[in-house]
């Protein structure tokens, strides 16, 4: 693995893909215990397009609020700074990659999988005894973000990865096939991108180790939760409706690290399936 090569990939991508300054400032405010709802509202108000998006989301049927939300200050007060942070980062990440040439995957499929992973992780986090629910939705949403960088920057090699997986001669996971072709994987690229965006360390670890939770040093429970949610989301991508299926992509250590059991999955899967279309329409309309 070449750390320099990964950094070059991220640096090149950053010329095309970046989170707006407002999104980064909103993230910092949400992580600052001394900040207020007014501080966040003031930052969001500097971006008129973001104001429109946030008010539209706050007034959507998904949140079912009884009174119309007509100001950002009110939206932050009602939904809370962490929820607003999640909404801002979600829509900003989606827009950052909007229009970037990509022949290897439809953006609709990519974000559907990512959103399902984030939603399921958030639902499961309420059952977990060892994880903190803060930021877990965004961690799930961004867990595969490195793949988009690789698809965009190295399409020929990424196509080789897809072919290697399709051959099926070995039971390779995607990240293992990437290491065969690139010498590194989407977790490492995604982690470097999250670091370049100066997002929270928990997000960086969840992205960088979501297939290998045993390597997480600071937030092993959160990383393991994304490992479980991603594995279930992959099964959902293949339309597996058998909730008793073994899910081979779940690392055995993830159950121990999260305090979850297989019995926790069916109810969480049912809830995620009920909510996915509605929240997808709210965050990624059109």
Find the Cα–Cα–Cα–Cα dihedral 99, 101, 105, 111, rounded to 10°: -30
240 pLDDT more than 70: no
Dig out the tokens for 181 from the structure.
Answer: 């072709």
Write out pLDDT tens, residues 100-120: 667 777 888 899 999 999 999
Write out pLDDT tens, residues 190-226: 999 999 988 989 999 999 999 999 999 999 999 999 9
181 falls within a domain: yes
Q: What's the rounded Cα separation, in Å, for the pair 279 and 252?
A: 30
87 falls within a domain: no
Round the CA-based radius of gyration of the chain to a whole number and report it. Answer: 19
* 55 and 114 housed in the same domain: no
Task: Give the end of a domain, one of 79, 110, 129.
Answer: 79
Contacts of 198 (CB under 8 A, 6+ apart): 24
> The domain that contains 121 carries what CATH number?
1.10.3210.10
Instruction: Please state the rounded mean pLDDT for residues 84-88.
Output: 92
* 13 and 23 housed in the same domain: no
The pLDDT of residue 283: 86
* Count of domains for the chain: 2
Q: Name the DSSP class of 13.
A: H
Mean pLDDT of the chain: 88
278 falls within a domain: yes
Instruction: Please state the rounded mean pLDDT for residues 52-66.
Output: 86
* 200 and 150 housed in the same domain: yes
* 139 and 191 housed in the same domain: yes
CA 73 to chain CA centroid, Å, is 26
* 12 and 24 housed in the same domain: no
Q: How much is the pTM? A: 0.91
* 23 and 131 housed in the same domain: no
Q: For residue 67, what are the domain limits?
A: 18-79
The CA distances from residue 41 to 27, 62, 143, 166, 190, in Å, are 12, 21, 27, 48, 29
243 pLDDT more than 60: no
96 pLDDT more than 90: no
59 falls within a domain: yes
Task: Give the end of a domain, one of 45, 79, 113.
Answer: 79
* 27 and 143 housed in the same domain: no
91 falls within a domain: no
| CA-based nearest residue to 153, from 195, 197, 184, 113 | 184
Share of the chain above pLDDT 90, in %: 56
The pLDDT of residue 286: 66
**pLDDT class of 127 with cuts at 50, 70, 90:** very high
| CA-based nearest residue to 135, from 76, 199, 212 | 199
Write out pLDDT tens, residues 10-20: 988 877 777 88
Task: Give the end of a domain, one of 29, 45, 79.
Answer: 79
Other C-beta atoms lying within 10 Å of the C-beta of residue 77: 16
84 falls within a domain: no
* 33 and 157 housed in the same domain: no
* 165 and 126 housed in the same domain: yes
1 pLDDT more than 60: no
The pLDDT of residue 239: 60
* 175 and 147 housed in the same domain: yes
90 falls within a domain: no
The pLDDT of residue 157: 94
User: Which residue reads 């706050």 in tokens?
Assistant: 58
179 falls within a domain: yes
Instruction: Please state the rounded mean pLDDT for residues 244-253.
Output: 76
* 74 and 102 housed in the same domain: no
* 46 and 70 housed in the same domain: yes
């Amino acid at each position: 693995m070449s750390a320099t090569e990964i950094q070059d990939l991220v640096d090149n991508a950053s010329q095309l893909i970046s989170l707006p300054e407002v999104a980064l400032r909103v993230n910092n405010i949400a992580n600052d215990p001394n900040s207020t709802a007014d501080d966040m509202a003031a930052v969001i108000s500097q971006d008129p397009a973001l104001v429109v998006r946030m008010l539209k989301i706050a007034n959507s049927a998904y949140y079912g609020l009884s009174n119309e939300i007509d100001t950002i200050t009110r939206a932050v007060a009602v939904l809370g700074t962490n929820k607003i942070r999640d909404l801002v980062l979600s829509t900003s990440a989606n827009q950052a990659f909007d229009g970037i040439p990509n022949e290897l995957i439809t953006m609709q499929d990519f974000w559907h999988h990512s959103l399902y992973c984030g939603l399921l992780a958030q639902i499961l986090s309420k059952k977990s005894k060892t994880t903190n629910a803060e930021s877990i939705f965004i961690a799930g949403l961004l867990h595969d973000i490195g793949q988009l960088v690789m698809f965009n920057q190295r399409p020929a090699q990424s196509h080789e990865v897809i072919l290697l997986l399709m051959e099926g001669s070995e039971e390779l996971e995607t990240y293992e096939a990437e290491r065969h072709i690139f010498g590194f994987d989407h977790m490492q690229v995604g982690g470097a991108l999250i670091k370049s965006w100066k997002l929270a360390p928990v997000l960086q670890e969840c992205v960088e180790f979501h297939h290998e939770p045993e390597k997480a040093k600071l937030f092993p429970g959160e990383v393991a939760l994304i490992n479980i949610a991603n594995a279930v989301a992959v099964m959902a991508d293949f339309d597996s409706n058998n909730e008793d299926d073994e899910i081979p992509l779940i690392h055995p250590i993830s159950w121990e690290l999260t305090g979850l059991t297989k019995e926790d999955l069916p109810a969480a899967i049912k809830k995620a399936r009920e909510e996915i279309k509605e929240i997808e329409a709210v965050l990624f309309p059109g």
